């Protein structure tokens, strides 16, 4: 079994299509839809695979949509531990308006999980052997408590695994309070974690260090869109900015970044190298239209540029 696992409580089928122009009332002719398995940890496992690594995805799945979701993931050869649920897996719709090139993302509400179902997800994590990294990412569907990532943090500690969390709101607060190896908030998520309305880039280091000084987290990687990311630990702090690129779509940038960081950490690279590679993967994802994740060749090329800019 692979030593990286991801857990996603609210997976979805992403259905992408395009229309000549998005206008009300008229029947719109859509392009042939592209269906992809999605959701935070699912995308991270897929991106790790694209980079040449392997991660096992753990997730709940239900109904006919769930069966189709499992099939889509299987087609990509992503190892999976599937927890069958009573409710159907959700489907999201992404529509590109070709008249303006605007992308509209319609996210359906997460389908609820019962306590027995989310507990089975936790048990599946507990039962995995030789786990080095556990990545939890994504929103929580109805029925799953905000403390779920804190519960997973405890499991990670008992397994001696490094726990990486990419989430927001209350779930992020509970995870940070319990203590995790790494948090990957963006500026907005860091602000709400710190109880502030807004954070200026110049304040990031101090605020991240305050969260670390509470003794609960080791590493905070604050992503800042086109400005790259800041890596903060008790000892080190560094900002890594990607080269300017022609951005097509930022969908999947955060997931590709987390994938890149963990893919490098798993190969024994240091934190600086790993976060630089994460920035490269995040930026690589923006080179692709629609929901497509990073391509390895783009990530490797951008990484060389970031490394030489910071050496």
Ligand X SMILES: Nc1ncnc2c1ncn2[C@@H]1O[C@H](COP(=O)(O)OP(=O)(O)OP(=O)(O)O)[C@@H](O)[C@H]1O
- Which residues are designated catalytic? 255
Binding test (CB under 6 A) with ligand X, winner from 279, 293, 294, 299: 279
Look at residues 4, 2, 274 and name the one whose alpha carbon lies nearest to residue 133.
4
- What's the Rg (C-alpha) of the chain? 19
Q: Is 199 left (phi over 0), alpha (psi -120 to 50) or beta?
A: beta
- Quickly list DSSP for 84-124: EESSPPEEEEEEEETTTTEEEEEPPPPPP--HHHHHHHHHH
Binding status of residue 242 toward Mg ion by CB under 5 A: no
Binding status of residue 257 toward ligand X by CB under 6 A: yes
Binding status of residue 41 toward Mg ion by CB under 5 A: no
Identify which of residues 31 and 102 has a Cβ nearer to ligand X in the complex: 102
Identify which of residues 63 and 225 has a Cβ nearer to Mg ion in the complex: 225
**Cβ density class 264-293: b for 16+ within 10 Å, e for less:** bbbeeeebebbbbbbbbbbbbbbbbebbbb
Measured CA to CA, the distance from residue 281 to residue 185 in angstroms comes to: 16
Identify which of residues 66 and 138 has a Cβ nearer to Mg ion in the complex: 138
Binding test (CB under 5 A) with Mg ion, winner from 62, 254, 260, 282: 254
Binding status of residue 242 toward ligand X by CB under 6 A: yes
Per-residue x/- marks for ligand X, 173-212, CB under 6 A? -------------x--------------------------
Please state, as a whole number, how many other Cβ atoms lie within 10 Å of the Cβ of residue 309: 12
Measured CA to CA, the distance from residue 58 to residue 10 in angstroms comes to: 11
Per-residue x/- marks for Mg ion, 137-166, CB under 5 A? ------------------------------
Binding status of residue 223 toward ligand X by CB under 6 A: yes
Stretch of 25-33, 154-162, 190-198, 251-259 lying at the interface with Mg ion (CB under 5 A): 251-259
φ/ψ of residue 85, rounded to 5: -125, 160
Identify which of residues 17 and 250 has a Cβ nearer to Mg ion in the complex: 250
Where are any strands of DSSP class E within the chain?
4-7, 12-19, 34-38, 56-62, 80-85, 90-97, 102-106, 133-137, 162-166, 182-183, 219-223, 229-232, 237-240
Stretch of 75-83, 117-125, 249-257, 293-301 lying at the interface with ligand X (CB under 6 A): 249-257
CB hemisphere CA count around 4 (13 angstroms): 25
Binding test (CB under 6 A) with ligand X, winner from 283, 292, 294, 295: 283
Identify which of residues 141 and 254 has a Cβ nearer to ligand X in the complex: 254
Binding stretches for ligand X (CB under 6 A): 186, 223-226, 228-229, 242, 245, 247, 250, 252-255, 257, 279, 282-283, 286
Instruction: Note the residues at the interface with Mg ion (CB under 5 A).
Output: 254
């Amino acid at each position: 079994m692979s030593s990286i696992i991801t857990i996603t409580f609210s997976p979805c089928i992403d259905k992408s299509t395009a229309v000549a122009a998005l206008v009300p009332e008229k029947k719109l002719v859509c392009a042939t839809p592209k269906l992809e398995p999605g959701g935070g940890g699912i995308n991270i496992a897929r991106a790790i695979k694209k980079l040449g690594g392997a991660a096992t995805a753990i997730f709940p799945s239900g109904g006919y949509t769930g069966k189709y979701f499992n099939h889509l993931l299987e087609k990509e050869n992503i190892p999976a531990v599937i927890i069958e649920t009573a409710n159907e897996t959700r489907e999201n719709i992404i529509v590109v308006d070709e008249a303006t090139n605007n992308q509209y993302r319609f996210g359906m509400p997460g389908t609820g999980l019962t306590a027995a179902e989310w507990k089975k997800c936790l048990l599946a994590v507990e039962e995995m052997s030789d786990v080095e990294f556990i990545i939890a990412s994504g929103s929580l569907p109805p029925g799953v408590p905000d403390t779920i990532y804190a519960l997973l943090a405890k499991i990670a500690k008992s397994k001696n695994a490094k726990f990486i969390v990419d989430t927001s709101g209350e779930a992020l607060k509970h995870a940070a309070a319990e203590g995790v190896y790494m948090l990957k908030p963006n500026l907005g998520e860091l602000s709400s974690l710190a109880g502030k309305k807004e954070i200026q880039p110049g304040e990031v280091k101090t605020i991240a260090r305050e969260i670390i000084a509470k003794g609960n987290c080791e590493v905070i990687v604050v992503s800042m869109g086109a400005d790259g990311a800041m890596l903060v630990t008790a000892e080190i702090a560094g900002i890594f900015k990607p080269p300017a690129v022609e951005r097509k779509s930022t969908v999947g940038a955060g997931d590709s970044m987390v994938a890149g960081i963990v893919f490098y950490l798993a190969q024994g690279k240091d934190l600086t190298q790993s976060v630089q590679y994460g920035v490269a993967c995040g930026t690589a994802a923006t080179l692709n239209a629609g929901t497509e994740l990073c391509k390895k060749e783009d990530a490797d090329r951008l990484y060389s540029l970031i490394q030489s800019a910071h050496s």
